[in-house]
Structure 1
Amino acid sequence: MTKSKFIAVGIVAAVLFSGCKTKDLKMSEVKENHSNDKKIVVYQVFTRLFGNKNTNNKPWGTIEENGVGKFNDFTDKALHEIKDLGVNYVWYTGVPHHALVNDYTAYGISNDDPEVVKGRAGSPYAVKDYYNVNPDLAVNPAKRLEEFEALIKRTHNAGLKVIIDIVPNHIARKYEGKSNPAGVRDFGADDDVTVEYKRDNNFYYIPNEHFEIPDGDVPLNGEKNALIDGKFDENPAKWTGNGSRKFKPDQNDWYETVKVNYGVRPDGTKDFPELPTGFDQKSYQEHFAFWQDKDVPNSWKKFKDIALYWTAKGVDGFRYDMAEMVPYEFWSYMNSSIKMKNPNAFLLAEVYNPNEYRNYIRLGKMDYLYDKVETYDKLKDVIRGNSSPDELTNIQKGMSDIEHHMLHFLDNHDEQRLASPEFAGTPERGKPLMVVSATISTSPTMIYFGQEVGEAGNEDAGFGKRSRTSIFDYIGVPNHQRWMNDGKFDGGKLSESEKQLRDFYKRLLNFTISSSALMGSFEEMQSVNRQNNEAYDALLYSYARWSESQKLIIIANFSSEKESEFDLKVPSTLISKWNLKDGSYVLVDKLYSNSKTYLVVKNGEGSARIKIKPSESFIYEIN
């Protein structure tokens, strides 16, 4: 989603439906189907950009000028290197066929009006055909689906699993299901367009009004195009994707999309069966059984069929765009259906309202949600000098019952690049954030392609501006391209500092996916050190993670300027839990194994002499 999407979430979600609070559960009760004994790492790639070797980077450049990556660019070598980085899943972003400004009429695809397309390459979240893939990504657009199926197979052969997007809240204004399986009716094909709302309509309508192009936007930066004429034929007008009910949406609305109707009336009430009390504690099998004899809205059935279509093709999971704008009863219906086909399916939702987290996990049967508003935002505030890391402890405590389900990231297609001046400022300053993000909980970790080599998103791509890697334009990703090295995928053009950064990520991620302690218990050490340790700097953060077979002490220095030397206090509560007797224990850093110190236990309390450089982190294991 885009930033304007984030702003609109709370407004629309509040209008369309309100959630109920569910009863707190213990972690053992909510780790359904993902009781992994090791961490999961997701590697997000923007599929259109990953394999692009063109370095022109002309603002508003065409596909011929700036180039585009293909499915075939994910070679066996490329996938091996991704796997070797310490990755389990690849999220191929932007795969479903979405609206774009390029001529594929020779392949039976209609042209899209640039006035309802963002950028030239188009937003991947304005899907035009859910049963096919973006023709830009294929060497032979006529065989685009076969090329993606081959990529699924290559990915699996590399020991990786596949995630793609499903965008349930909205679709492109010019949706055309050219690839529908037999018997599948197109979105809106059977709608009664004379009324604003009807339960089995796929869209909301504005009767007796024609859609009008919003003011202010200049499609294709003023370039001439036969379809740019100041109008788009949509009569009657539909609600816009973010819920705007204006026939002429605002420039900041998601005007390139229309909102899907899930049986939520315009006043926000629900026109479908609700889950009975206690279903927050029931399994996906019980959720699936509940819906078998229920009459549900037509849009529910359509999206369930879409998800099962891709599941049957070998897709291992989905990332759901703007999931909280769709009622969790629908998610119960669809996710339980997916799990019945693939119990290990990886289901990740973009949700930003902490008050609704437990509903979407327990009632919506989501495996994972974005931990954006809590952990991500706090880490960003810390590195920008706006907050203390102390508050990370309260965040962990507040989400202790669902922490496994809160996916951690520092970079993705929506956010400012970690290495950008608007975020950490340098890749090195992002290192302690990455260590904490990847090790503080049992949740999956996600990185965005190029993050591991310090990509800063400096390009003015056209519609997309600097600090984020554009999702709307044909553009190159310079640091990533240096690692790609003209398709050799060997880092041959990286600078020495970029090579060292990738080595850091590789060490960290591979450690996380092999560590039993990171799937075990957590105890903060911050409070005892901040209160009773004058040498312990305010920009340090420390905690312990452990399992029966592994004990870790993790320390991060968020300061990029100050080296600290101090005696780390290890509280007696932790010493007792670890059954450590008085004596001396060797601590070995698991990131680089070239740093050792000693934990000295005396009278049931522990202390370790630590010397930590700016932006440095240690993951000490007790030997």
Structure 2
Amino acid sequence: MTKEKTKIEKHTDKLVVYQVYTRLFGNTNATNKFNGTIKENGSGKFNDINYAALQALRKFGVSHVWYTGIIEHATMTDYSKYGSPKDNPLVVKGIAGSPYAVKDYYDVDPDLAVNVKNRMKEFEALVQRNHKNDLKVIIDFVPNHVARNYHSDVKPNGVRDFGEDDDKTKNFAVNNNFYYVVGQDFVVPHGVNPPIKVTEPYIESPAKATGNDVFMPNPSINDWFETVKLNYGVDYLENRTTHFDPVPNTWLKMKDILLFWASKGVDGFRCDMAEMVPKEFWGWVIPEVKKVNPEIIFIAEIYNPAAYWSYINEGKFDYLYDKVGLYDALRRLMQGAGDANDITRVWQNESGNFAQHMIRFLENHDEHRICSKFFAGDAFKAVPSMVLSATLHTGPVMLYFGQELGVTPDRAEGFSGDDGRTTIFDYWGVPEFQNWVNNHKYDGGKLTPEQKKIRKFYADLLKFVNTSDAVKNGQFFDLQYLNNHGQSPNYNDQKIFTYLRFTEKQKMLFICNFDLENSYSTSINIPKGAWEMMGLDPTSKRKYKGTFGNKLVLEEPNSEKVKLDIPKNSVLIFEIE
């Protein structure tokens, strides 16, 4: 029994990933001045993420912590006395800067260190603390673009900087690291108005192509103007012709960078905008990294369902974002619109063949916070969507820090304005999260009753996910088509979604009511084929025992129908005995 359990744990895809915005996680400064400096608004540190924090995350049910903003990026904060050149504020977004405008792939963000000179050792100590608390460490790998003024001041001996050996007389050369607009200088976008004094112009000659594939010298303020596109051997101006043999210089540099971080004990990489980098690169580099550590995982931020197959089978990714699909379908339902039948269409058409590879979420740093006025406006409207995200298939589930507390951005925090997101560009404190941090006790000592209630829901859900054999390892059976179009009385198929999850050990029935206004008295059809798939006699009388807060016990003489009442905006889960 013990050996079997260990085997299941080792091979499960049901990871629980908790995304931490590292600069904000441990920051207890409550000043929150618009466009405030690090001295005014403060910054969380590696050392703030202490044993108490990590033990609390592990107890919460987390298996992997994704630390966002680890690698050094461009900033308006001056660290030149520590050997890091000042960045021109004309090409930096926000006082603190974007973590996706990498300035030095071989260094960590100095904002995160108590002793800036000792910053890498402080990061290494954080990795060790995670491992001692049975947590895996994921960091961002940003392969598509770098800060406009990229320069590594701590790179290993023999490493050449990106662009250091480029032939700048050519728009494209296979071993150039950047693309150039030959004969033209970079033009800072109209409307860029940094919150600090600009003391000198930004000069880039010739102009480099901008990160979001803008091959002109004058990107707009809405482009990723603070970044430059990296060259992986694709000539975009010649019909995207590819030059992958011999291996391009950028591929070799990136492999060395990944191996560098793997040597620090990093357990995985969330790969930013992975589909903007050719899948051939991933298919080459991921196996190379896994030669060093076969257990290391790669997660692709990807938004094109048509490319899922190739990025798993050819690109060798372990997991892909399920954003264009499940997230979008659930978001519509959480906003009082949408159609629960979209969930069936998602798994059938977009991610069904790759279910164990899809990482499901309702929040991350790119998306609106659930409680914001731009999304649902209420943490509890996420209950059925969060349960479904976590239990629909065997793939991973992800939470963003503070999601479990109902974080509600309600004003402009800096560069990105009042946009319903927690800022990634500025120094800030997150009040709801600070209540849980409680001066680095990480015990929730200052949480309100409402925050305790929503956090308990998430804690109970993660415990359920981590202990349910059917959820972690089971098959999936969609019951929607057997209950829609009037086949079940009072079953509103646009608002209710039902499914089975089962293994040899455990059989479970899930009923999700996404209707924010109405409860339903209905019955659920379970066909003969489903009982046979579960290895049960379809003619036998069944007992349905409520679980996950559901105290109902139903006994049905007819296995093919389960009569029940389901409240609005809720989930009922039954274990079939």
Opposite residue 272 of structure 1, the aligned amino acid is H
Query: TM-score when scaled to structure 1?
Result: 0.88
CA–CA distance in structure 2, aligned partners of residues 484 and 494 of structure 1: 9
Instruction: Report if the CA contact (8 A) 1:52-1:70 is conserved.
Output: yes
- The answer to whether residue 547 in structure 2 is matched with residue 590 in structure 1 is yes
**Any unmatched runs of 5+ in structure 2?**
1-7
Instruction: Report if the CA contact (8 A) 2:538-2:560 is conserved.
Output: no
Alignment map for 1:18-97 (pairs within 5 Å):
36-37=11-12, 39-97=14-72
- The answer to whether residue 558 in structure 2 is matched with residue 607 in structure 1 is no
**Aligned residue number for residue 560 of structure 1:** 516
Q: CA deviation at 1:511?
A: 1.5
Q: CA deviation at 1:576?
A: 2.6
- The answer to whether residue 398 in structure 2 is matched with residue 441 in structure 1 is no
Alignment map for 1:444-483 (pairs within 5 Å):
444-466=396-418, 467-483=420-436
CA–CA distance in structure 2, aligned partners of residues 434 and 141 of structure 1: 39
Query: TM-score when scaled to structure 2?
Result: 0.95
Instruction: Report if the CA contact (8 A) 2:13-2:395 is conserved.
Output: no
State the secondary structure of the residue aligned to 1:401: helix
CA–CA distance in structure 2, aligned partners of residues 601 and 577 of structure 1: 20
Instruction: Report if the CA contact (8 A) 1:167-1:321 is conserved.
Output: yes
Opposite residue 569 of structure 1, the aligned amino acid is N
**Any unmatched runs of 5+ in structure 1?**
1-32, 274-293
Q: CA deviation at 1:211?
A: 1.2
State the secondary structure of the residue aligned to 2:509: strand
Change (3 A) 1:584 1:55: farther
**Aligned residue number for residue 332 of structure 2:** 381
Q: CA deviation at 1:421?
A: 2.5
CA–CA distance in structure 1, aligned partners of residues 470 and 81 of structure 2: 56
Alignment map for 1:77-476 (pairs within 5 Å):
77-220=52-195, 223-226=196-199, 229=200, 231-265=201-235, 266-273=237-244, 295-398=246-349, 399-466=351-418, 467-476=420-429
Instruction: Report if the CA contact (8 A) 1:239-1:245 is conserved.
Output: yes
State the secondary structure of the residue aligned to 1:262: coil
Q: CA deviation at 1:575?
A: 2.2
CA–CA distance in structure 2, aligned partners of residues 300 and 168 of structure 1: 10
**Aligned residue number for residue 484 of structure 1:** 437
- The answer to whether residue 501 in structure 2 is matched with residue 545 in structure 1 is yes
Instruction: Report if the CA contact (8 A) 1:584-1:598 is conserved.
Output: no
Q: Could you list the per-position Cα deviations for residues 560-616 of structure 1 after superposition, in whole angstroms to 9, with x for gaps in the alignment? A: 222222222222221232313544433233312x512225252xx422232222221
Q: CA deviation at 1:58?
A: 1.5
Change (3 A) 1:317 1:188: same
**Aligned residue number for residue 462 of structure 2:** 509
Q: Could you list the per-position Cα deviations for residues 79-116 of structure 1 after superposition, in whole angstroms to 9, with x for gaps in the alignment? A: 01111111110000010000011111111111111110
Opposite residue 544 of structure 1, the aligned amino acid is L
Opposite residue 367 of structure 2, the aligned amino acid is E
**Aligned residue number for residue 19 of structure 1:** none
Q: CA deviation at 1:484?
A: 1.0
CA–CA distance in structure 2, aligned partners of residues 373 and 271 of structure 1: 27
Change (3 A) 1:84 1:268: farther
CA–CA distance in structure 2, aligned partners of residues 514 and 173 of structure 1: 47
CA–CA distance in structure 2, aligned partners of residues 155 and 197 of structure 1: 43
**Aligned residue number for residue 572 of structure 2:** 618
Instruction: Report if the CA contact (8 A) 1:127-1:175 is conserved.
Output: yes
CA–CA distance in structure 2, aligned partners of residues 424 and 35 of structure 1: 36
Instruction: Report if the CA contact (8 A) 2:175-2:249 is conserved.
Output: yes
Instruction: Report if the CA contact (8 A) 1:63-1:474 is conserved.
Output: yes
CA–CA distance in structure 2, aligned partners of residues 159 and 35 of structure 1: 13
Q: Which moved more, 1:608-617 or 1:165-174?
A: 608-617
Instruction: Report if the CA contact (8 A) 1:586-1:596 is conserved.
Output: no
CA–CA distance in structure 2, aligned partners of residues 482 and 86 of structure 1: 20
- Percent identity between the two aligned chains: 45
Q: Could you list the per-position Cα deviations for residues 2-61 of structure 1 after superposition, in whole angstroms to 9, with x for gaps in the alignment? A: xxxxxxxxxxxxxxxxxxxxxxxxxxxxxxx99823611100000000001011222111
Q: Could you list the per-position Cα deviations for residues 226-282 of structure 1 after superposition, in whole angstroms to 9, with x for gaps in the alignment? A: 3xx4x3121111001111112121111111000000010132434434xxxxxxxxx
State the secondary structure of the residue aligned to 1:542: strand
Q: Could you list the per-position Cα deviations for residues 323-349 of structure 1 after superposition, in whole angstroms to 9, with x for gaps in the alignment? A: 101101100111011111111111001
CA–CA distance in structure 1, aligned partners of residues 66 and 501 of structure 2: 28
Opposite residue 504 of structure 2, the aligned amino acid is E
**Equivalent residue in structure 2 for 1:496, among 449, 455, 462:** 449
CA–CA distance in structure 2, aligned partners of residues 397 and 224 of structure 1: 54
Q: Please provide the CA RMSD for this pair.
A: 1.6
CA–CA distance in structure 2, aligned partners of residues 586 and 104 of structure 1: 66
**Aligned residue number for residue 15 of structure 1:** none
Instruction: Report if the CA contact (8 A) 1:59-1:462 is conserved.
Output: yes
CA–CA distance in structure 1, aligned partners of residues 446 and 565 of structure 2: 34
Q: Which moved more, 1:583-592 or 1:308-317?
A: 583-592
Displaced runs of 4+ in structure 1, greater than 6 A? none
CA–CA distance in structure 2, aligned partners of residues 109 and 45 of structure 1: 25
Instruction: Report if the CA contact (8 A) 2:498-2:510 is conserved.
Output: yes
CA–CA distance in structure 2, aligned partners of residues 615 and 386 of structure 1: 13
CA–CA distance in structure 1, aligned partners of residues 330 and 104 of structure 2: 38
Instruction: Report if the CA contact (8 A) 1:597-1:608 is conserved.
Output: no
